[in-house]
Amino acid sequence: MKMYNKMFELHAQLLRAMSHPKRLEIIHLLRGKNLCVGEIQQKLDLPQANLSQHLMTLREAGIVVTERKGKNIFYKLSDKNFIEASDALREVLAKRYKDTELASELEKNMDELVPLTHDLVCGKRLCPKSANVTYKYNGKIYYFCSKACKEKFVEKPSKFLII
């Protein structure tokens, strides 16, 4: 029974490390990407000291890992399941607030809140803000997790589209 309780303690510690809007935003930014501190800072418009604290919290919790390339330190998620968990919670929130005063505001910004689509090549859940690559085909924009997925689509779109 001790391990049963320990698992809940570990779960709570992990959630505490994630329980700040900026740390959740960092997790969202690292969706399928490795970013250096400067890139994260630029996207979040946070002071260096503040960002460093958030990254340290995420690193100590094992949510992000680092990789040094030359003088730069790049951050990436330690596990893709952090994105899936975050997406699932955002879907719950979108449903919860669907019929409230926030509904119209949420609808305007829904592409930033929940995944709207899937990468047609690999099936990964994406939203426009988190997609690494976009491609316009027949007047419609498609979102991809990587350049490789986009290139496969471009080679033979009919393989991936239901016509």
The total of structural domains in the chain comes to: 2
Buried b (16+ CB within 10 A) or exposed e, 122-140: eebbbbeebbbbebeeeee
Same domain, 57 and 120: no
Q: What is the pLDDT of residues 8-53, one digit of tens each?
A: 999 999 999 999 999 998 998 888 788 888 888 887 878 889 999 9
Q: Strand (E) positions, the chain?
A: 35-36, 64-69, 72-77, 117-118, 125-126, 133-137, 140-144
Residue type, 138: N
- 122 shares a domain with 56: no
Q: Is the pLDDT of residue 106 over 70?
A: no
pLDDT category at 157 given cuts 50, 70, 90 is: confident
Segment 84-111 mean pLDDT: 73
> 41 lies in a domain?
yes
In a domain, 52, yes or no: yes
Cβ atoms within 10 Å of 77's Cβ, excluding its own: 20
Span between the terminal Cα atoms of the chain, in Å = 54
pLDDT of 113 strictly over 80: no
Instruction: Identify whether residues 8 and 63 lie together within a single domain.
Output: yes
